[in-house]
Structure 1
Amino acid sequence: MNTFTKKVMSVGEMASGAKLTVPVYSFVSENASGPNVYIQANMHGAEVQGNAVIFQLLELLQHCRLNANITLVPYANPVACNHKNGEYTLGRFDPITGVNWNRMYHFDESVIEPFSQNYIDATEEDINNDFRALMLNEIEQKLDHNIFGLTTGQRIAYQLQRLAYQADIVLDLHTGPISSKHLYCPEYAQASANYFDIPHTLLIPNDFDGAMDEATFCPWWSLQQAFEKQGRKFTMGQGLFNKESFTVELGSQEQIDLDVAKDDAVSILAYLHYKGVISNDEYQPQAMTRYACYLNDYKALYSPMGGMVDYLAEFGEVLAAGEPLARILRMDNYGDGEALHYVSLDKPVIPILHFASASVNQGTELYKVFYNYFELPES
């Protein structure tokens, strides 16, 4: 029998004194032998499809046989999802500091080496428990003992991170502007990408750059590397170091589709079945060709001129060299110049997302594409 609970977590206060709150849903398994899971959505204000996916997960998980505890947090950033300007949601950056909401998480790599030296001969259980306690203490110190205070974004991020640090698997649900589905996957966890029903995977370095996925896998990766330097070898993604974190890009912002969200929830459950979190054998990944590229080869194409853009390239399909991604309309040139300008590349690419508006300035990011892509080998 699984226990389901809901609580409301306060993550800050408005100028009026009104509380900023976040709902937290938890399934606690009576047989918690598998890796625990944390899933959040809507850290960026316009990226709302993840809330629909969490709804569908809540519905489906009530009928699953759980081998682990699962925590789900929709509306993770109440400031961002309420940051409207007319009919648009602007909540990608903290409006006070200008910092990306998803670049405020904490990881201090200086704590890794001393810990590995002190625990070089410790049991795996002690390493797991005490390192997790160290990571949680780092966050508690940031939240409760910072004499100079925290920004709004840091306070929200650290409280979410405190929840995430109690899990072994972390999924951060996002969307793009106008986008196909794709997965940000740490390089060491490449094999796991085959268990999501997502055809495009970005393999990211095992380094910290401020995002939630990095904040939750990088400490364990760094610890594994530190142990290895001292002659004690662990394999990341297995045993003690069975820790994985992903940013799951669910399509386009500013809209939800509950039917597609159910497909996305089923995709996540297929991955969770592979990891031993659930025992329901009906959740299996779909057979599909999955493409990947390394983060350095995920290229942004910037507009060579201002104008009105007709986006031509289909998402997820290989676009041959020389084929146009877009055409730009310049009505100011009509009658005495070229009104249409085509934009193409000299190498095959896979378009993944494009700018949300047809109206662009010179230098606007038009598309992001997989440049040196390859097929993911089957696991």
Structure 2
Amino acid sequence: MSNSKNIFNKTVMPVGEMASGAKLTVPVYSYKTDGFVGPSVYIQANMHGAEVQGNAVIFQLLELLKDCNIKGNITLVPYANPVACNHKNGEYTLGRFDPITGVNWNRMYHFDESVIAPFADKFIDATDGDIQQQFKQLMLNEIEQKLEHNIFGLTTGQRIAYQLQRLAHQADLVLDLHTGPISSKHLYCPEYAQASASYFDIPHTILIPNDFDGAMDEATFCPWWYLQQAYEAKGRTFEMGQGIFNKESFTVELGSQEQIDLDVAHQDAMGILSYLQYKGVIDAPNYQPQEMTRYACYLKDYKALYSPMGGMVDYLANFGEPLAAGEPLARILRMDNYGDGDPLHYVALDHPVLPILHFASASVNQGTELYKVFSKFFELNAE
């Protein structure tokens, strides 16, 4: 499927069982490179059921990788959550939350900060290579303990998440492909990895703190960040992004849910390959980031706007275009007020914002999340 150095493989990974005994499985595609010298990569899609565009992007990546000189191992997992993929209600896919526990499927990954300090104490004088090898094994052992030695068992969501995380912990670079409801493309990027954001063909970047809140990206970069902090507290310093800490993880938001577009997916895949070229995973200089204006904001300034009333919403603001203070994002139709009141209500903010996504339905209750916006934004300059 590629040059003689690259070995392509497909396996099927069981991740659970249904009440009937039928097994839940996900496909796992990989390129293994003999004597690889580049970073290893893990890419997954469709952890949330309605967020399907990532599967099309993985298809296009597999097609494009056939013709690439691959320098590092690459693992790709579409349909990562078979329960969510199949959680339908009429024509809609509801798979954002575990229907049994109510927990967001993307908030079930594991990281125990308490293992960091003892590890740093034990390996304070170890070589960079030994630290990387031993710490990766510790992360894998933590997941193995959760999967195989938990006497009280696991929820369906935890079992799926931990098996995906076991694959992700074996990689240096992790991409978790998602979408919004009705959304522009945007990227969740660790603050320390800001330089990498300009190598994706994505116009909007949310810079997230180096803290763990249960998501896949955090579960795979936070342990290494916390490890660096522990070593620095003991007087041993490393530069993030080099040496043993060449670890980056991103949540890549590919647009809107409940639809795929294979042509757009081809462009998305080329953008991902631009990042992989930059990181030395592939040797394909033709993959370069597009020239575009890229905007960013910090997570604390990524704000949700909630509807001040119930009604039918006409979403007015265009994604990715700065909206001046006082300009309306939406207007709400209240036919019950027609003839004896004001049937139209405009929703605006008192400062400039950059709209990123909005609710999927025109029918909203008071308190429904209408938009998410960059409240304080700035241009993201290339490295």
What per-residue deviation string (whole Å, max 9, x for no partner) do you get for residues 226-263 of structure 1? 00000110111112100000000000000000000000
Residue aligned with 1:195, SS: coil
Distance in 1 between residues matched to 2:66 and 2:171, nearest whole Å: 19
Q: Is the 8 A contact 1:31 1:66 kept in 2?
A: no
Counterpart of 1:21, as a letter, is: T
1:42 is aligned to 46
Q: How does 1:294-305 map to 2 (within 5 A)?
A: 294-305=298-309
Corresponding position: 1:76 with 2:80: yes
Cα RMSD (Å) of the superposition? 0.5
Distance in 1 between residues matched to 2:255 and 2:174, nearest whole Å: 19
2:194 is aligned to 190
Corresponding position: 1:323 with 2:327: yes
Distance in 2 between residues matched to 1:144 and 1:339, nearest whole Å: 59
Deviation at 1:366, TM superposition (A): 0.1
| Among candidates 200, 221, 244, match of residue 217 of structure 1 | 221
Counterpart of 1:304, as a letter, is: P
| Among candidates 232, 235, 242, match of residue 238 of structure 1 | 242
Corresponding position: 1:336 with 2:340: yes
Counterpart of 1:223, as a letter, is: L
Corresponding position: 1:127 with 2:131: yes
1:151 is aligned to 155
Residue aligned with 1:45, SS: coil
1:257 is aligned to 261
1:165 is aligned to 169
2:278 is aligned to 274
TM-score by length of 2: 0.99
Distance in 2 between residues matched to 1:62 and 1:210, nearest whole Å: 34
Deviation at 1:31, TM superposition (A): 3.7
Counterpart of 1:299, as a letter, is: K
Distance in 1 between residues matched to 2:324 and 2:52, nearest whole Å: 33
Corresponding position: 1:363 with 2:367: yes
1:181 is aligned to 185
Q: Identity across aligned pairs (percent)?
A: 82
Distance in 1 between residues matched to 2:36 and 2:217, nearest whole Å: 23
Counterpart of 2:180, as a letter, is: G
Q: How does 1:10-89 map to 2 (within 5 A)?
A: 10-89=14-93
Deviation at 1:377, TM superposition (A): 2.1
Residue aligned with 1:226, SS: helix
1:308 is aligned to 312
Unaligned runs of 5+ in 2: none
Unaligned runs of 5+ in 1: none
Distance in 1 between residues matched to 2:310 and 2:239, nearest whole Å: 50
Deviation at 1:121, TM superposition (A): 0.6
| Among candidates 223, 229, 236, match of residue 233 of structure 2 | 229
Distance in 1 between residues matched to 2:378 and 2:35, nearest whole Å: 40
Distance in 1 between residues matched to 2:121 and 2:234, nearest whole Å: 8
Deviation at 1:30, TM superposition (A): 1.9
TM-score by length of 1: 1.00
Distance in 2 between residues matched to 1:326 and 1:315, nearest whole Å: 12
Residue aligned with 2:330, SS: strand
Residue aligned with 1:218, SS: helix
Distance in 2 between residues matched to 1:30 and 1:12, nearest whole Å: 32
Q: Which runs of 4+ in 1 moved over 4 A?
A: none
Distance in 2 between residues matched to 1:378 and 1:39, nearest whole Å: 24
Distance in 2 between residues matched to 1:238 and 1:176, nearest whole Å: 32
Residue aligned with 1:163, SS: helix
Corresponding position: 1:202 with 2:200: no
